[in-house]
Chain A
Amino acid sequence: MNYFLLTLIKAGLIAFVLVTVLAYLVWVERKVLAHIQLRVGPNRVGPHGLLQPLSDLVKLLFKEGFIPSHVNLFFYLLAPFMAVALSLGSIAVIPLGPQIDVFGIKTNLGLADVNIGILFMLGLGSLGVYGVALAGWASNNKYALIGGLRSAAQMISYELPLALAIVAPLLMFNTLSFREVVDAQGGYLFGFIPQWAIFQLPVPQLISFIIFLIAAFAETNRIPFDLPEAENELVAGFHTEYSSMLFAAFFTAEYGHITTACMVASVLFLGGWQPLWPAAYGSDFFPVVAHWFFAAICFWHARQPARSYDRYTMPILGIILFGAGGLFLVPFLKPILVPLFWFLSKVAFLIFTFVWVRGTLPRFRYDQLMRFTWTFLFPVALVNLLITGLLVALTTK
């Protein structure tokens, strides 16, 4: 019973935080992209447009959910639900931090600690293609159909290098549990090089990491692989006929996929919540320093306000950041917050990369995309796997 209650609380908490984070990912993406493109981005709703996700949500909720008469209603309605459920589902098995002790209850920072977590995640990820393909087919729209077909072929093709890229570090760690993968990446070589998968001997998994990222871009239908929704070719691709919350569902699914992919990449290759340098050199205090540094910047801006209201908003933000930094010093919260900070910073950096790439690269052509995965990515992933397997077999007793 205790276990049941605890899981329920954790599920509620994670779901709430996750949905908020996904909504704010839209804001982050728009803001980062805007600055790459010499624009300001959302800045009307709330300070720095911070309430924009909220207003978007209200807008989408109150829009008419228009369902065209020529759709296949069952699959048309099923597709967005499948997309969202499958994309958010895999986050359940990803651990966010180590085992913690809250009021004497030992529990894992993360929803479920499944010993086949990676297989579960891969399975759900493969099913994700159904949302897109069904939406494209059920819409009974030519652009949507082409988009859905493209995406089905693309996602299935990129599953292979993605899976192979995941298998290589697994060979080194000899486990399928996310938690054990992270534990295996603890420690430091020569006392300062973190033993993350991309640095760990015998085979630093840098190539796997890059292949994983490329395949993740394709899996999440992001530029340069955003062919299913290439707006200049297919108007809006598979979600052309969707409006209101059904449309928002696809967006949530896309951002959910991005978040999952970034979390998995951090766990598998960047050492999860393992800090960049040993605690002996004060990595535990880095979050405090970082928060206080940004608090200081806020106070500095309050002294020299760029806008008149900065005089009031900036100190408030500064105090919040100062307090948040202080939380990392509380002995009771420290073991929870410090790993979470390291894990989320890695995830945030990877998400930033996703947006960064979107602001930089053009789009592949469909056949080039397929050729790229089958004639380049897949063989490279395979060779990488063979080399890793060989070296692991030679070095382990």
Chain B
Amino acid sequence: MADTLVAPADLAPDALSAEAPRKGKRLMTLNMGPQHPSTHGVLRIVLELDGETIVSAKPDLGYLHTGIEKEMEVKTWQQAVTLTDRCDYLANLSNNLAYALGVEKMLGLEVPAKAQVSRVMLCELTRINSHLVWLGTHALDMGAMSMFFYCMREREEVLKLFEMFSGQRMMTSYIRIGGLALDHPRGWDKKVKAFVDDFPSKIDQYESLLDNNPIWKQRTIGVGALDVERMIALGVSGPMIRAAGVPWDVRVDEPYSSYEKFGVRVPTEFTNNDVYDRYRVRMFELRESCRLAKAAMEAMPEGPFQADAPKIVLPDREKMKTQMESLIYHFKIVTEGFTVPAGEVYVPVESPRGEIAYYIVSDGGNKPYRVHMRTPSFGNLQALEALFDRKSIADSIATLGSMDFVLGDTDR
């Protein structure tokens, strides 16, 4: 509300009094954000209100612009991985994966089976993490305050798993070009198993709080619907488009990282395209991700966790002490990095929010020439203006929550 420090003329008390001339219907401009509890970050929406009905909504992006795409151009290929975490800070590993897959494709690098399956497992855990944050904040927006804490309880377990694998809770940078950053820690399978076995019962808990709650249903069913063709044209992807009955999922349509082995189920029974169906789709995906993570954990092959590419992947510390070559490669990779053949590549990955894709251009040097991200948050936000049209403020909050955007992902 920074710009209302000076009272707008149409709101000054005397302008509302009987003496003021009344020229037809006047609209109220409401500045929602960038500091607003339910814009989930620093999204600013300029609303034109007629009473409580939104006449027009203009999203104003860029408050969290960090210049990550540009910054990548001055980092070596391997260093740039750490920047991908910072875009979508709730789906770090999906971002890691999309970037790593792109560079690996340009390098023609074959990633060992263990790393591939491990990536599937971690990306599914990431999806659980992200959907839990979404569910908690979405319910909080609707006034169901306690859900947030229940979701954070389980998210904490996922973050502990990430910490176990990579040493980091959020900015893991665990998926690197050529495989993983570290081998799996000791006892990882027990911890993952404990989580995936326990988690479905927790989903039941969430549903028992929300599914049959008449207020929750009233607030969500039939709210925030939009024509499917329009949504596709606007570039909406992920759970939002799946809730409209479009079974588009990159994991199934363009499988990567051995996803084809696990038979990902895409929900098709949700076609109402409203906030409730988006909630149902994400609850379905929580269960499905849990199943996939479990399947990946059980199918985890033995073997190396990094590709056999000494010029790209850092050598084993032990070998560096005994082998001259390893030491030379280590020095070369750390000081100047490796080069990637000139060319360009576009790799999509299914992030929790939708299709995230990295468009990477190389000029043959040791740094990316250009990296552009096609981010699902940005794509989904395109539908905001159409979704808000002629809705009440309360509905717009519900719709905004159901879009599940992350501003870091939008503004980059």
Contacts and interface: CB of A to CB of B under 8 A. Distances in A.
A130 to B, nearest CB: 16
B2 interface: no
Interface string A337-366: 000000000000000000000111111111
Contacts, number: 100
A33 to B, nearest CB: 8
A141 B4 contact: yes
A143 B11 CA distance: 12
Contact of B38 (A137, A138, A232, A362): A232
Nearest to B35: A235
A360 B150 CA distance: 12
Q: Which are the 8 A-B pairs with shortest beta-carbon distances?
A: A363-B143, A362-B144, A37-B149, A70-B7, A232-B38, A362-B142, A365-B394, A232-B141
Contact of B142 (A145, A235, A363): A363
Interface string A222-240: 0110110011111100000
A68 B36 CA distance: 19
B6 interface: yes
B30 A230 contact: no
Interface of B: 1, 4-7, 11-13, 28, 30, 36-38, 52, 139-146, 148-150, 153, 209-210, 213, 215-216, 218-219, 392-395, 397
Contacts of A38: 149-150, 153
Contacts of B37: 231-232, 235
A68 B395 CA distance: 30
Contact of B6 (A36, A70, A230, A235): A70
Question: Chain A at the B interface: mostly helix, strand, loop or mixed?
Answer: loop
A72 B146 CA distance: 37
A80 B37 CA distance: 24
B218 A364 contact: yes
Interface residues of A, number: 38
B13 A365 contact: no
A233 B146 contact: no
Contact of A224 (B11, B215, B393): B215
Given A38-B153, A72-B13, A366-B394, A142 B145 contact: no
A359 B148 CA distance: 11
Contact of A232 (B13, B52, B140): B140
A362 B143 contact: yes
Nearest to A361: B215
Nearest to A36: B146
Interface in A188-237: 223-224, 226-227, 230-235
A360 B149 contact: no
Contacts of B141: 232
Contacts of A227: 394
B143 A366 contact: no
Contacts of B209: 360
A212 B111 CA distance: 66
Nearest to A360: B146
Contact of A233 (B4, B148, B218, B397): B397
